[in-house]
């Protein structure tokens, strides 16, 4: 699959095509089992927010594109 969107890469200093870093669910499953479930939130975070990688240099693009960090939603008590 090809992405037609272009994202600016600060490393390449130009707009580049990107691909998503696939989540290694097997590794996350093993870590979750080894940590008795403590790894589950990290697994969830990785699965919900795949990082964009520059097709040219392979560097992640999310850190340069997203200016503000998403806030943690408050849980209703
Ligand atoms: Zn790049």
Question: Where are the strands (E) in 1-77, listed by range?
Answer: 7-9, 14-16, 18-20, 52-54
How far does residue 23's CA lie from ligand 1's centre (Å)?
20
- Concatenated DSSP letters of 29-76: HHHHHHTTTTTHHHHHHHHHSPPEEETTT--B-HHHH--SPPPPPPPP
Total-model pTM: 0.50
Residue with tokens 């927010």: 49
Backbone dihedral angles phi then psi of residue 20, each to the nearest 5 degrees: -95, 140
Q: How far apart are CA 29 and CA 72, in angstroms?
A: 24
- Reported as a single tens digit per residue, the pLDDT across 31-50 is 999 999 999 999 998 888 76
pLDDT in 10s for each residue of the chain, 77 residues: 554 688 888 889 999 999 988 889 999 999 999 999 999 999 998 888 767 889 999 888 865 444 444 566 777 77
| Centre of ligand 1 from the C-alpha of residue 19, in Å | 11
- Whole-number Å distance, alpha carbon 53 to ligand 1 midpoint, is 8
CA of 13 to the centre of ligand 1 (A): 7
Ligand 1 centroid – CA 67 distance (Å): 18
């Amino acid at each position: 699959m090809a992405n037609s969107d272009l994202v600016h890469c600060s490393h390449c200093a130009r707009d580049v095509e990107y691909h998503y870093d696939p989540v290694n669910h097997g590794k996350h499953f093993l870590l979750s089992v080894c940590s008795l479930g403590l790894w589950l939130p990290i697994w969830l975070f990785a699965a919900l927010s795949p990082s964009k990688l520059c097709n040219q240099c392979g560097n992640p693009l999310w850190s340069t594109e997203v200016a503000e960090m998403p806030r943690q939603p408050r849980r209703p008590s």
